[in-house]
Amino acid sequence: MTERQKLWAKSRYLRSKIRQIGPMITGSVALRHIKCGKPNCRCTRGYPHFICQVTYKERGKTKTVYVDKKRQGEALWWSRNYKLFKKLLKEHTEVNLALLKSGRGRKKKRKKNETDTSHIPQKNIANFGLTPY
């Protein structure tokens, strides 16, 4: 298998992995502990409340969404999916750039008067009155 074929295979593999990723969110998930401020609450005695929040950017402004306890796992999973997507996309881009670069062959330097006949099939060169290299 040539290097170019390996790159194509890796590109196909990465695309299939990207398609398998489920729902995602672009924000960061943070688990925090807070005190609610009620005088008789357990958080004033050293047992703080744990909350989950998602922070994201919208039109250059940072927004925060508080996530219900029942959906915390879902928020964490979706955030993980986005991070995985970014990693795979970066790797896929690198592979595709390598594919683009691998298509370039080294061409011989030609003299100013010499005609490039590499795109003409060898059997047709004689028809044009040209001589092969």
Examine residue 97 and state whether it is found in any structural domain, yes or no: yes
Examine residue 66 and state whether it is found in any structural domain, yes or no: yes
40-51 pLDDT, tens digit per residue, is: 888 888 888 889
pTM of structure:
0.65
Give me the pLDDT at residue 114, please. Answer: 61
Q: Which residues 6+ apart lie within 8 Å of 71 measured at CB?
A: none
Give me the pLDDT at residue 113, please. Answer: 61
| E strand map for the chain | 28-34, 49-58, 61-67
**Tell me, what amino acid is at 125?**
I
pLDDT mean across residues, the chain:
83
Of 95, 69, 70, 89, the residue nearest 26 (C-alpha): 89
Phi, psi of 46 (to 5 degrees): 105, 5
**Tell me, what amino acid is at 63?**
K
Domain that holds residue 20: 3-101
Q: Is the pLDDT of residue 17 over 70?
A: yes
Give me the pLDDT at residue 121, please. Answer: 57
Q: How is residue 131 written in tokens?
A: 């001589």
Examine residue 110 and state whether it is found in any structural domain, yes or no: no
The answer to whether residues 22 and 79 touch, using CB atoms and an 8 Å cutoff, is no
Residue indicated by tokens 């998930």? 29
Of 96, 73, 59, 61, the residue nearest 23 (C-alpha): 73
50-97 pLDDT, tens digit per residue, is: 899 999 999 999 999 999 989 999 999 999 999 999 999 999 999 999
Give me the pLDDT at residue 45, please. Answer: 86
Examine residue 88 and state whether it is found in any structural domain, yes or no: yes
Examine residue 35 and state whether it is found in any structural domain, yes or no: yes
- The total of structural domains in the chain comes to 1
Q: Taking the C-alpha atoms of 10, 13, 14 and 18 in order, what is their torsion angle to the nearest 10 degrees?
A: 170
Examine residue 91 and state whether it is found in any structural domain, yes or no: yes
Examine residue 124 and state whether it is found in any structural domain, yes or no: no
The answer to whether residues 60 and 45 touch, using CB atoms and an 8 Å cutoff, is no
Order across the sheet with 61-67: list the strands.
28-34, 49-58, 61-67
Examine residue 42 and state whether it is found in any structural domain, yes or no: yes
**Tell me, what amino acid is at 97?**
L
